[in-house]
Every structure is written in C-alpha cells, then in structure tokens.
Amino acid sequence: MQSIKSGVWPTMITPFTANNTIDYTAVEKMIDFYQKRGVAGIFAVCQSSEMFHLTLAEKKSLAKFIVENAPDGMQVIVSGHTADSVDDQVREAEEIMCTGAEAYVILPNRFAAEDESDDILIENMIAFTERLPNVPLGIYECPYPYKRLLSPKVLRSCVQLNRFLFIKDTCCSIQQIAEKLQIIKDSGIKLFNANSATLLESLQLGADGYSGVMANFHPELYAWLCNHFQSRPEQAEQLQQFLGTNSMAEYQYYPVNAKYSLTLQGLPMEIGSRVRDTNLFTESQRKEIAQLTGLSLVAREAMAIEV
C-alpha cells in the first residue's frame, strides 16, 4: 500500500447550485484553491461534504470527479460510509471507492450502535474488511450520528488488520492522542488531528498533520505550521495561538460559513447547504467570517506565505 502524505488534508465541502445539485465547476475551483495553498491531499465525501445528505450516485460521482481532477502530487481519500448494515456498507464502498483514491475511510460509529460494545464494532469492522481485501483503509471518528472515539482495543485491532493508512482523530485530547500515537507506532498508520487548539502539541508528539474543517478557511496557514513547526518554533507557537483561537468559527454556522469564506477569497459558488438553512446565516455571522478572512490574510503576510 502506498503511504499517505503528511501535512494538511482539508475535509472538502460540497458546493451546490441554486437548484441544489452538486456544482462541479465550483468543486474544480476548490481543488485548485487547495493545491495553490500547499495541502498534501483532500479528504473527500466526508461529513463536511454533507455525505449523509448525498445519494449514493452523488457520492460516487463526486469521488470520481475529485480523484480525476486532482493535480499530480495531490492525494485523495474518500468516504461516503453512511449505510447501516455490513452488506449495504460493502456495496456502498464498492460503488464509491474509485481508481486513483488512496484509501476508503470508514466510520467506527457505523459498525456499532451507541449502546453496543467494542467487540461488536470490531466484529463488524473485520467482516467489512474481509469482503474488501484489496482496499486500503482510513478511519474517521465522525461526530454524526453519534461520536465514537477509537478505544485502545479498537485501535489495536486496526493495527493488527494491517489495512489502515489514515486516522482522522477528533478526540481533542493531547493525552489520548499521545496514547494513540504509541499504539500505532511503526504500523504505517498516520494520525491527523482534526482539532486546531491541540494541533501544535500533537505535531510535536508525532502526529502527521491536520485534517479538519478550518482547512476550508485558511489551509495555507495550517500547511505552514505542519511544515515549519520544528524549524521555526517561535513563529509556530504564535501561529498556533491564531489558529486555535479562530477555530471557534467551526462552531458558528458550518459549513455555510466556510462556503461564504471561500466566496470572499474569490471562489464563485452558492453558499447553500443541505444540512443548514442559509437564511439563518446572520449578518453578524457574515461579518465575523469576513473579518476572519481579513485576519487570515494578515497572518499569511506576517509568515511570508505566498499562494
């Protein structure tokens, strides 16, 4: 299996047309936006992509389009793992996983209900992987429909399966990240932190990068941190303060606010969403995102980051 690149992996949002269909012109422009800002790869058809509100045909088409339009050197991983039964999940993965994608990303909360044990999760995860023997895998602690973090027991099972390349970690705990890094050491699995506030500390512990929603607002700043945190520690600490504080935008009105931010950065798209009512995106919230966009430019200039 090919290794996943370290660095920034944006959780790619899905732009929709005014008629609520996927806007592939805007998708293509987003890929170019990411590429110019130094990301390592794209996590496509994920929660940020509104995957629970896409049809299977839409998920398949979107994954294929992103993989085919990613420039040389930019890796793509895909999910779309939303079905309930293992049989349906296997069929779903067979439809979505396409030639050129580095891995298919599974969700632990799809293999067990909230009140079910890790043993059931592991049993269903193994059954799934056995039916897709040649597919490299990632795993994502998705918060929807409920958040299920990887316990040490489940993570050790992932290591033993020798199929995983990628973890998107959402625990937001340095202690837990340190424990996970110890479990996956020398396994070939790379851990990408989704939490901005703990990012620098996690990189210093050995995490491989960032995969979170804020890479839709200013990916170049996250790329700089991942690339320079060792060689320029003082500036890295200053940038961490900026990124951690401004990541509160994640809790404002995402993903509508991310789409709005992208329009302010020159990407023409509708800001409509299938998970949020755009009419409830207030004037004050728009101004907050406009000001965050302006601050991001200041930070970029201070770090002499060219895009």
Give the residue among 68, 142, 52, 54 at the shortest CA–CA distance from 101: 68
Q: Which residue has the tokens 């973890």?
A: 167
70 CB-near residues (< 8 Å, 6+ apart): 31, 35, 42, 76, 100
The full length of the chain comes to: 307
Q: Is domain 7-302 annotated with CATH 3.30.450.70?
A: no
pLDDT tens, per residue, the chain with 307 residues: 679 999 999 999 999 999 999 999 999 999 999 999 999 999 999 999 999 999 999 999 999 999 999 999 999 999 999 999 999 999 999 999 999 999 999 999 999 999 999 999 999 999 999 999 999 999 999 999 999 999 999 999 999 999 999 999 999 999 999 999 999 999 999 999 999 999 999 999 999 999 999 999 999 999 999 999 999 999 999 999 999 999 999 999 999 999 999 999 999 999 999 999 999 999 999 999 999 999 999 999 999 998 8
Q: In terms of pTM, does the model score above 0.75?
A: yes
Angle between helices 86-96 and 118-130 (to 10 degrees): 50
Taking a C-beta distance cutoff of 8 angstroms, is the pair 253, 281 a contact? yes
Burial of 175 (0-12, 13-18, 19+ CB in 10 A): exposed
Taking a C-beta distance cutoff of 8 angstroms, is the pair 92, 56 a contact? yes
- 135: its two tokens: 């597919």
Domain boundaries, the chain: 7-302
